[in-house]
Amino acid sequence: MNRFALADTPIDTAHLRAELLDDRVGGYASFEGWVRNHNEGRDVLGLRYEAYVALAEAEGDKVLAEAMSKFDVLDVRCVHRIGDLAIGELAVWVGVSAAHRDAAFAACRYIIDEVKQRVPIWKHERYAEGDAGWLHPDPQS
């Protein structure tokens, strides 16, 4: 089962959350990363995510497998958008279910941090001044 996915359409968080339901679950944590209208003091009009798909999916699955083994969690999921996104759109979603909240929070943080650091996804921001720029990795996003 692939727990990590790239998506070129909007992320269905309700469906993903439902995949994490289990009678053993006592805690659930999620993270949503949205496209913001600024970065490093510049106005951003939108962006495009591009990925080396095969490598991104493999590395993303590896990150999620690591989270499953490092933390006392029951299940994990992560979806990252690719393609053109507008301000306010959901760019990345992470969900974690566990028997207890501490493990869910810790694994959720670990996943988003590792995905941003290791998965080959590049962000191309379009700025209000008319230029654009590539960003990767971008651990603060």
Question: Tens of pLDDT along 44-86?
Answer: 999 999 999 999 999 999 999 999 999 999 999 999 999 999 9
Residue 13's domain spans which residues? Answer: 4-135
Number of domains, the chain: 1
Query: What are the tokens at 112?
Result: 């988003």
Question: What is the pLDDT, as a whole number, of residue 125?
Answer: 94
pTM tops 0.85: yes
Residue 140 included in any domain: no
For 93-134, how does the pLDDT look when each residue is reduced to its tens digit (9 = 90+)? 999 999 999 999 999 999 999 999 999 999 999 999 988 888
Residue 141 included in any domain: no
CA distance 86 to 16: 22
Residue 98 included in any domain: yes
For 5-27, how does the pLDDT look when each residue is reduced to its tens digit (9 = 90+)? 999 999 999 999 999 999 999 99
Nearest to 64 by CA among 5, 140, 13, 137: 5
Contact assessment for residue 4 and residue 76, using Cβ atoms and an 8 Å cutoff: no
